[in-house]
Amino acid sequence: VTDQAFVTLATDDVYCQGALVLGQSLRNHTTSRKLAVLITPEVSSGMRSVLRSVFDEVTEVDALDSADSVHLALLQRPELGVTFTKLHCWTLTHYSKCVFMDADTLVSRAGAVVMFVSVLDVFFSNWATADIGKHLPFIYNLSSSAVYTYVPAFNHFGRDTKVVHFLGATKPWNYKYNLQTKRVMQDGTASGSFHQLSFLALWWNIYSASILPLLE
């Protein structure tokens, strides 16, 4: 299956931190599929060489911007215009199949990756005609953000989460982490459920153990 790839996108060195944790989490759970990252010219050369040690393919693309400032202002996320850059995924035609994952996601369970891809197969086979019931199961795109939390579903599925998505303006790399106690530090205003905190801790665990040493 080397003609299949997981693809992510990082337009700057900050998002690269997320891409590296995602890449490492995929490495921890899969060996057979290629890992590819799309970057834009802003990404530093130091970061590029770190990316090359985790990903099989690092491809520079031009930034695409939706330039839709009106709608992005409504979302209060002006930085999201550049997410259009992920459309470059369609130019990776040397792969027969690509699974695009945001840089703020991570794979949290063994076996998840194989199941993820087969779920997508089912999903896309009748995508055009499928009803809402064919949407990706909740556990394959679990939002860990308090803003978007679906509390009952979170409580129900949290334990079985396969892909965690840290959706929203505050990303794991915006938190502080105590390397000694291995704890994510919460400021006074942040409230997080047990699951949310444990996903953050998982992200920081991978980051501190596998990524920080590469960045030093």
Q: Which residues bind ligand UDP (CB under 6 A)?
A: 8-12, 15, 79-80, 82-83, 102-104, 167-168
DSSP 89: G
* Candidate list 18, 25, 102, 108; residue touching Mn ion; CB under 5 A: 102
Q: Where are the beta strands (DSSP E) in 11-56?
A: 34-39
Buried residues in 69-105 as b, exposed as e (16+ CB within 10 A): eeebeeeeeeeebbbebbebbeebeebeebbbbbbbb
- H or E segment and range at residue 54: helix 45-54
Q: How far is the CB of 3 from Mn ion (least distance, A)?
A: 26
15 binds Mn ion (CB under 5 A): no
Nearer to ligand UDP, 66 or 178 (CB): 66
Cβ(68)–Cβ(54) under 8 Å? no
| 11/18 Cα distance (integer angstroms) | 11
Q: Give the binding-site size for Mn ion (rule: CB under 5 A).
A: 2
Residue nearest to ligand UDP (CB): 102
* Least distance CB 9 / ligand UDP (angstroms): 4
Residue 9 binds which entry of ligand UDP, Mn ion, none, CB below 5-8 Å type-dependent = ligand UDP
DSSP-derived 3-state class of residue 28: helix
Identify what 106 binds: Mn ion, ligand UDP, none; CB under 5 to 8 Å per kind: none
CB neighbour list of residue 187: distance below 8 Å, 6 or more residues apart: none
Residue closer to ligand UDP (CB basis): 6 or 31: 6
Among 34, 85, 86, 104, binds Mn ion (CB under 5 A): 104
Contact positions toward Mn ion, by CB under 5 A?
Answer: 102, 104
